[in-house]
């Protein structure tokens, strides 16, 4: 369960520690995850991991399903990146409910 929460909110441990809230640049967080994933995995394996991460990360947004829908059409890791950043650059509305579904 914790792994899913971390995929939705990679900054969750900061929250657990009671540290002050930060302004989160969701596009920068997603792109950093992309770079780290490609550092550790070949593009064909990174592709699946990025799609899986994006499924959970999209839960941060009111219309996150639109982000994930675009990513589902991608055929390469680079296309996943393009679709994710295209969505994130629109400054999508964040969900305000803390009870995000992790299923």
Res. 102: pLDDT tops 80: no
Residue-range domain boundaries for the chain:
2-17+25-88
Residues 6+ apart with CB under 8 A from 27: 85, 88, 89
pLDDT tens digits along 82-93:
999 999 999 999
Given a cut of 80, whether residue 34 has pLDDT beyond it is: yes
Whole-number Å distance between alpha carbons of 97 and 79: 30
Mean pLDDT in residue range 42-65:
96
3-state secondary structure 64-87: HHHHHHHHHCCCCHHHHHHHHHHH
pLDDT at 2: 86
Does residue 65 have a pLDDT over 90?
Answer: yes
């Amino acid at each position: 369960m914790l792994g899913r929460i971390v995929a939705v909110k990679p900054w969750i441990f900061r929250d657990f520690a009671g540290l002050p809230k930060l302004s989160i640049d969701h596009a920068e967080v997603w792109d950093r995850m992309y770079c780290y994933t490609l550092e550790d995995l070949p593009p064909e394996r990174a592709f699946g991991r990025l799609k899986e991460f994006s499924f959970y990360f999209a839960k941060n947004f009111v219309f996150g399903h639109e982000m994930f829908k675009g990513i589902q059409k991608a055929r390469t890791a680079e296309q996943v990146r393009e679709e994710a950043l295209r969505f994130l650059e629109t400054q999508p509305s964040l969900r305000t409910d803390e009870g995000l579904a992790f299923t």
